[in-house]
Structure 1
Amino acid sequence: MIPSHVKRLAAVAAFGLAATAPALAQEVVKIGYSGPLSGGAALYGKNVLDGMKMAVDEINAQGLDVGGKKYKLEVVGLDDKYNPSETAINAQRLVQEHKTPAILIPHSGGIFAAQTNNEAQKYLVLAYTSVPQVTARGNKLTLRIPPEFTSYVQPFIRHAMGKYGKNLAIANADHDYAKAWTAVFKPAWEAAGGKVVAENPMSYNKDTDFYSGVSRAVSAKPDVMFIGGASEPTALVAKQARELGFKGGFVIIDQAKMDEMAKVIGGYGPLEGSIGVLPLIEDPAPDSKAFVQRFQKVYPGRVPSSEVSLNYTAVHATAMAMKLAGSVTDATAIRANLDKAMKQLSPVANPNGLAGVDDKGGSMADTRVAVIEGGKVKERALSSFK
């Protein structure tokens, strides 16, 4: 006969096992991140990572059920200092140590580095860059999150050249993404009848004083300056150009956000006449406004950029694709379901209105452009630039 105290201990142990069973059954799936979390682009990288984490928290709160099993998502974030060689090392670590089926990388140099072996190692590259070559290469395990930047080129040229003149000074960043922009923008400017009077890219991610480089650009007497990299150093370039007497307009590549620049230089006034992407905080669409409110509940006092919202959507789409694929590890199946997943997302999870994923792995969406007029941001329809 079994003593009563032994029966009680056995019952307690059985209860304990039953109580912990759901927690044990909920496996963890890790999504990787490799991007700048230090240096001049640290804010840019933090925005991307915060958007990912916000999505993960929402997905976990709702519950992620894939193939009849419950999973918990986690983000593993590593700093690569905007250095592609560091990205490659981080990607190896994320795959080998954390078994990440997907890694989000927010710069083209790092994305290209990862694409050299991601198909062989069978992980999905979530590419936050609008460089067309990212998907043009035919990598079958890549999602390009924002639309291609080429859709901005002609509206930017028509606005700047029509308002200020034909002489252009190139004074953007010297990283791979900025180089890709220059390679498209410069010949398009010249084909429209413009002239490049100075070309002086600078190390936005390393320097904080741009006077010598900006001075060389301004001394060429441009009507327009082509600038851009991470928001904070881009703002300093604009500020120093104004201090050196530049009166023309700025063409701002899409990595830099005008609202973030305004914080650095004391408002939109110094950016008068600029053209760039529409800041999320200035977007009048109801879904965008609702996203901003939700973000500010999670991160009081902060203003989200499109880096936050687009990468938030990318994580939601990846989780939905896992559900549709019936797998959290099969990167090929997850990639194959991304278009369907994107189209099934609610407006809450897709505040930028991404319309789907094309056959090359690029997201599709309408281009949103804004100009600074009278010290205020004004959205401009693309049709107005024709």
Structure 2
Amino acid sequence: MQFKTKMIPLTGAVLLALAGSALAQEQIVKIGHVGPVTGTDAHMGKDNENGARLAVEELNTKGVVINGKKVKLQYMPEDDAADPKQATAAATKLVDSNVAVVIGHLNSGATIPASRIYANAGIVQISPSSTNPKYTQQGFKTAFRVVANDAQLGRVLGQYAVKTLAAKNVAVIDDRTAYGQGVAEEFAKGVKAAGGSVVASQYTNNKATDFNAILTAIKAKKPDVIFFGGMDAVGGPMLQQMKQLGINAKFMGGDGICTGSLPGLAGAGLGENQVYCAEAGGVEDARKAGLDKFRAAYKKRFGIDVVYTAAYAYDATYAVVDAMQKAKSSEPAKYLPELAKISYPGVTGTIAFDAKGDIKDGTLTLYTYRGGKRTELAVVK
């Protein structure tokens, strides 16, 4: 006797169950990002957020495999408005969400308080733009940065002011933030080490719009250079008021003012070859093609040019996923040793860290502004 096999059709419920089982095998790895997407620094924070987002999207398209299993990266951006309190709230939220890493924060004043929360939770934090040396001097094994710090940037700019711009007397203004005050202090050290004099020190805040009183006091000291430690949203109006007051000193600053947005913010105050600044990071000729390719991909995806340090957020994201793959785990405790010794070929250069979590052999790019556009002068170390 022969028995015929009866085919039983798969019901919708069975198909859904099978699909659910397949999805359950796909691991979700949460990638956090924090930066200001509201407030005066929103254009910079959104730039970093976009850089990390582009990396996540590319990686998901290529397909990420960790320990033989396909992984989907889930991007989780948060806004800290460049405010320390909001930064710690955002950090706590991401810790509670069990993110595998946080790319951020943008500002040192937000990054430093948040770093303790990540360290206590054992979650890796990689800042693409925070430059205050204190960030990596706290002894947290979870804290990394992919740009040079203010000690290097301030030293280079201070030497440039005295030796290249022939400045004998300089004035210093800072915005009282961790970033602004820190970079201004390092610049002053660089000036003095190069043989120059600091003839005036003033401060404002990161939301100020009227600088007439401090600029008038500085004008009386007849400085050759005025250095501002702060961001472009304040530096731009400051340049306008310098012009109104007839102050012809060169204007210098760190990466906070060294943006493509400064010409629009400064207007007629920008001048030709009047503003000099340095941006943490930069690539030499051999790597320019890779960075140009990134910028083109960024513009295609978001419809705008790179504003600030998006490429560093992009590299930080790729580097940490590379560390996860090497460690065969997305758990911070397991991939952290791989990240600490990584040597990843990013579009901004080789991503490798020293014992503190600072980038090794960090570069700086010096710029001026000509014809209303930022113009590169040199890449230095």
TM bracket, shorter-chain basis: 0.7 to 0.9
Separation (CA, whole Å) in 1 of partners of 2:249 and 2:52: 38
2:154, 2:189 within 8 Å by CA — same for their partners in 1? no
Structure 1 residues 337 and 225 mapped into 2: Cα distance closer, same or farther (>3 Å)? same
Q: Give 1:95's aligned residue.
A: 95
Paired letter, 1:358: D
Structure 1 residues 18 and 337 mapped into 2: Cα distance closer, same or farther (>3 Å)? same
* SS of corresponding position for 2:226: strand
Query: 1:145-224, aligned counterparts within 5 Å?
Result: 145-162=146-163, 163-204=165-206, 206-224=207-225
Q: Any gaps of 5 or more consecutive residues in structure 2?
A: 1-5
Structure 1 residues 258 and 112 mapped into 2: Cα distance closer, same or farther (>3 Å)? closer
Separation (CA, whole Å) in 1 of partners of 2:213 and 2:75: 40
Q: Which of 331, 350, 353 is the matching residue for 1:354? A: 350
Query: Relative to total residues, which structure has the larger helix share, 1 or 2?
Result: 1
Separation (CA, whole Å) in 2 of partners of 1:267 and 1:328: 50
Separation (CA, whole Å) in 1 of partners of 2:335 and 2:237: 41
Name the Cα RMSD after superposition: 3.0
Separation (CA, whole Å) in 1 of partners of 2:314 and 2:268: 27
* SS of corresponding position for 1:77: strand
Could you tell me how far 1:283 is from its partner in structure 2? 7.8
Separation (CA, whole Å) in 1 of partners of 2:116 and 2:370: 47
Structure 1 residues 258 and 358 mapped into 2: Cα distance closer, same or farther (>3 Å)? same
Q: Give 1:49's aligned residue.
A: 49
Number of equivalences: 372
Q: Any gaps of 5 or more consecutive residues in structure 1?
A: none
Show CA shifts across 1:305-329 (max 9, x none).
4410001100111111111122212
Separation (CA, whole Å) in 1 of partners of 2:25 and 2:156: 53
Could you tell me how far 1:140 is from its partner in structure 2? 0.8
Structure 1 residues 354 and 172 mapped into 2: Cα distance closer, same or farther (>3 Å)? farther
Alignment pair present for 1:290 and 2:280: no
Structure 1 residues 42 and 217 mapped into 2: Cα distance closer, same or farther (>3 Å)? farther
Query: 1:52-67, aligned counterparts within 5 Å?
Result: 52-67=52-67
Show CA shifts across 1:39-94 (max 9, x none).
11111111111111111111111112112222221222222221212212221121
* SS of corresponding position for 1:200: strand
Moved over 4 A (4+): 266-269, 278-284, 373-376
2:273, 2:370 within 8 Å by CA — same for their partners in 1? yes
Paired letter, 1:379: L
Separation (CA, whole Å) in 2 of partners of 1:368 and 1:79: 27
Separation (CA, whole Å) in 2 of partners of 1:121 and 1:178: 29
2:367, 2:376 within 8 Å by CA — same for their partners in 1? yes
Q: Which of 314, 317, 340 is the matching residue for 2:316? A: 314
* Identity, % of aligned positions: 23
Q: TM-score, structure 1 length as denominator? A: 0.86
Could you tell me how far 1:278 is from its partner in structure 2? 5.5
Q: Give 1:36's aligned residue.
A: 36
Q: TM-score, structure 2 length as denominator? A: 0.87
Q: Which moved more, 1:374-383 or 1:105-114?
A: 374-383
2:354, 2:360 within 8 Å by CA — same for their partners in 1? yes
